Structure 1
């Protein structure tokens, strides 16, 4: 008998005895609020000793309504019921990829725990009493699907456990001592799937409609398994397998889903959302509410789309393109943020701990870094320091590589952790900038316009771009209080101003026809428009501070921008660029209050014109490559924000109240929208 069939009783039984009076007598001499403390007895021990009566936290508690008919894995089922079980298993699997736990998703499918019991080779005979419910649907078809499901989970788990993402944030590594067929080769699961497909193609026991439906689902399962098993080493095979998987997914989505089983159907017993009670886990019970069938298949479409993007990135040798794509996944709502497995795999593709893109040494990044940022061959810089073997140059190279690799990989974290990583990386970028500046100052090369003297600007450009992302991402994450928003917009405007000055300074050395030059020209227009919008928002939101509000704001700024006030910056000779200045902010507030001629409406209109030119030009920048259209979607979103916010006026508290800071409804991730469109005279 399977342990799933056991109807385990709760400890205690019916012969209970009220011991309340014993506790009251023992505590009669104690003062209210006092506590008896025993050595080595801690809070966790106390919590473990109490039956709290909360079913979500107490995995041993079972309510009367939870008592169900025992599950028997060899119960015959209709083909449409098998289809429904498979679809629901697919839905749970994609929910696991969406950062839920195995015990709340995949492991709720009870056949996961009963593979041996439905193995036809271990059964002395099979009864086929009901011709509408052939036993092979369980022992061949469903068994093959579950084997493929577990093997896919195993491959995902192995990728995720490598550390590409953080446990419990984007996924949970707890397997509850349930087998994911770790010792099985992938080929063994594929053989089972092939056997099931062969049976479906020859059987007369299943109506052709459901035979085809089951075939489509097994083929999708097999193709996903093959995609995961290939990694990204053979691009042609991966691309072909992805097309096959997307075709099978399309076939499933183009047909009506199987009907939901009746409430008393045996198929409904195949899932137990309270399975955590019988697993080795410390997690509380959580019953997931699955999305609709169409939403689950759409999520699978996004999963396969993310895999396709990973393949495209593996063939992209431009580091700035990698940075751009990671930013787009955060800035755009569609497609949504990639699943944890995809983001972890993308990190592994970029750097597996030894090589970059499975083909290049880490030093290859040096060439790409300076070529893409300034359009210049790195060797021209290396000559000034005695060649690549120069000790000072080697030290700088190591620092730069140690900064670039975590920077690119960290861009694929979830948004909150991504922002924290970028904020912490700003000190590393300043260290590289300081090293380059000192090296340049020590080189006796003239004229001053020599390429060597522009070298530190490469690190500065990356740092300023990162600073801007840290500031603006605070709006996406809704971190800023109303009092902090005007400061954030002004500070973003100031960072962009330094960024634009740096671009203008280095454009004299960038080859005119290079992609680096095209990228800089795009950035000039994009950042100019963004700066105008940030300044306009500052003018609308800023208010003259009172003494109490200033103290509160100052404390908030010191806490929010603590990355800029680290004492470690004092260890470097070069002062950090574009760090926040509280005194400057107050001066800007008073200056803006006195500038009656400043018009936010004109600023939004000017920004809109600049952005419109970018959209019409359709270039998307030098490193946009395949993602040009998506980058222009960001530009279009800013244009839409300009059109909405252009109606706002300064010193109008009523219009400010109409601003909607919710993320979902905003045309741009960094600016609010209006609760309803209106016109201000």
Structure 2
């Protein structure tokens, strides 16, 4: 009665024309809906004067430059939200067109043809891959009306997942059972993937959207029950439909088994076998018939009613299968990380795996994190201390008494071994987090890797200072004999092993920051000469530091060779450490050689005005210097090169153009020889066991960049010499800077010199 009374009063009010105060005989409210916009309101007030300013506003807007913004400081967030138009389809999630209903009137009892089932399944696969690419569930999988039917309300058993709620369980048509089994397998698969991603380090919205809009991804239904339903349905199906159900069952079993860190070969085989299903699946997509009415963007109103409506993400079947194939390949490779060889091979494996083009998906990257760090157990069966001590041993402390596990058994506080164990444990507790952060950082997307490294090097700088204090304390217990060399210093020289280790990794990360700046196109073409010069400065500093480490390692090796009590294990540790230092020195030499060559080449191109700097009305060279080297401003060692010194070192005003080109060619040739030697190393010698093929490809790409650099230098030199002979002031060449992915290696931007007539 109350509802009817309100309706009656509302209808009477709607019949009045407020302007004429007379009864309006036109149909009230929405019954007289007209798509034409309403006329402007009639303002009848002596205190208000209305004025049409449309023309003046348009003329004023035309005076603004592209990108220029005018902002009223008094136009607050409240006014901004108030300016959003109600009943604008782009902004109002509750807006309905004429005759449109709030929800879809879809008949779930209708029979579906086999072609329609194939079409719906293939569309769901495209939506699943779109989700893996980073799009939210609300715009992908959750747009399916059949998925919505299963999840609303939340089911707790298979009996609550039928599409046609009016039918009994025994009367479900076969095609409905096929689609229901596939949807259940899809949701359970997404549940495993979503849980894995949320359990590891990732960036919400930037990498992946885990938000399920308060809907369960079948966490309450047992995995085995869904597998049994899929297998039962497969027995009743055949051909393309049976192939798709088998694909879904295999995918579900893989994501459930992939979390295991003990069955390496089994999981790898599952990924490989799963990939073999894709060609048959891909070749039969043409048999499907699209069913667009089974997907709707209206479902978003039930999921997130406070945001503007968003369109359904459409990913082509070709792109979806490409994504799925990469997922299989990367999954089979990622599990290889569980084979532990040494800490440096582990670091190389992760860095090369994450540098794949295109980069592995977020699910695979979080799976890799789980394999490495899960439950704070390294690679499933190792402690963090084992990996850390292994890295210290193969870098600065081979066969050292500081890493002797027997020290932990000593309980007498005044015993030097007790003191050593106590301080080494203090160092491990401080260094372990920083060391693992390198691996965890490399597992992120490429932009985040560089951004995070810019912050972590400050932590390594502090770690180096802390380690230096511990080195001085440990010196008292190890009775280290210093080196005395008057040519180097009048003071005794100690190894400072722990701080040397921290300094080595700090330098390595600083190089990565600069190198990834080239990959991510952070630097403008006219800045490449400066940044390559700074890269060679860092690489040369690392090379000198490695020479220092090598000297102390070699000194210790000679000492144990003179002792008859030294065993084979000590010899092996020293041999391995010296091999690593030699390899790292060779790699650093090749890096600074090629960086030096490119720096000189870009300097010459700047001199010849072949690289045009973009207009920068709001910046200066000094400001750009501070911006590019901002991550290194607070680093104590290596010292930051002052702006004036860096400018002179890069431009080299005292050197002629031909002299610079000659030096650049020699540096490129030296780098080429270095990369050639590196390319011939075995996996054990290059500390890339488990990823030797990828490492060789990376080195050969660097070698190609060296060769191309030499060709570019020769072309520029020929043009300069020709200009000098002919007395011409115009160079008959032009320069093209390749974009990322278009050159031989993303870290080596080699300019392309093109002759012009």
Instruction: Specify the TM-score bucket, using the shorter chain as the normaliser.
Output: 0.7 to 0.9
Per the alignment, residue 265 of structure 2 pairs with 239
Change (3 A) 1:386 1:64: farther
Per the alignment, residue 172 of structure 1 pairs with 209
Are positions 1:153 and 2:190 aligned together?
yes
Helix, strand or coil at the partner of 2:214 = coil
Q: CA deviation at 1:260?
A: 5.9
Per the alignment, residue 203 of structure 1 pairs with none
Q: CA deviation at 1:648?
A: 2.4
Are positions 1:665 and 2:742 aligned together?
yes
Q: CA deviation at 1:438?
A: 2.5
Are positions 1:602 and 2:666 aligned together?
yes
Gaps of 5+ in 2: 1-28, 58-70, 152-159, 408-414, 484-492, 558-570, 721-729
Greater shift in the superposed pair: 459-468 or 511-520: 511-520
Deviations 1:488-513 (A, max 9, x none): 11110000001111112212316686
Structure 1 contact 276–283 (Cα < 8 Å) conserved = no
Of 23, 40, 48, the match for 1:20? 40
Of 82, 101, 105, the match for 1:46? 82
Per the alignment, residue 218 of structure 1 pairs with 245
Deviations 1:274-303 (A, max 9, x none): 64344325365144331343x422322221
The size of the alignment, in residue pairs, is 636
Helix, strand or coil at the partner of 1:647 = helix
Q: CA deviation at 1:93?
A: 1.1
Distance in 2 between residues matched to 1:624 and 1:407, nearest whole Å: 17
Q: Which structure has the larger Rg?
A: 2
Using the size of structure 1 for normalisation, the TM-score is 0.82
Structure 1 contact 157–173 (Cα < 8 Å) conserved = yes
Per the alignment, residue 445 of structure 2 pairs with 414
Q: CA deviation at 1:664?
A: 2.0
Change (3 A) 1:90 1:452: same
Structure 2 contact 132–362 (Cα < 8 Å) conserved = yes
Deviations 1:575-611 (A, max 9, x none): 3225343232122034365154232233223322321
Structure 1 contact 80–259 (Cα < 8 Å) conserved = no
Deviations 1:618-653 (A, max 9, x none): 447442012011011111111222222222246979
Distance in 2 between residues matched to 1:478 and 1:51, nearest whole Å: 42
Distance in 2 between residues matched to 1:655 and 1:408, nearest whole Å: 48
Structure 2 contact 117–288 (Cα < 8 Å) conserved = no
Deviations 1:533-572 (A, max 9, x none): 11111112234799x9997122112123222223xx5xxx
Helix, strand or coil at the partner of 1:474 = helix
Distance in 1 between residues matched to 2:267 and 2:385, nearest whole Å: 33
Of 602, 623, 626, the match for 2:687? 623
Distance in 2 between residues matched to 1:64 and 1:608, nearest whole Å: 71
Change (3 A) 1:23 1:222: farther
Distance in 2 between residues matched to 1:70 and 1:601, nearest whole Å: 73
Q: CA deviation at 1:221?
A: 1.7
Per the alignment, residue 512 of structure 2 pairs with 469
Change (3 A) 1:674 1:446: closer
Per the alignment, residue 650 of structure 2 pairs with 589
Change (3 A) 1:284 1:403: farther
Q: CA deviation at 1:64?
A: 8.5
Deviations 1:337-373 (A, max 9, x none): 1111121222232223533333334333431230233
Per the alignment, residue 309 of structure 1 pairs with 333
Per the alignment, residue 222 of structure 2 pairs with 185
Using the size of structure 2 for normalisation, the TM-score is 0.75
Are positions 1:555 and 2:623 aligned together?
yes
Residues 297-336 of structure 1 correspond to what in structure 2 (within 5 A)?
Answer: 297-316=321-340, 318-333=342-357, 336=358
Change (3 A) 1:58 1:517: farther
What CA RMSD, in Å, does the superposition of the two structures yield over aligned residues?
Answer: 3.9
Change (3 A) 1:586 1:245: closer
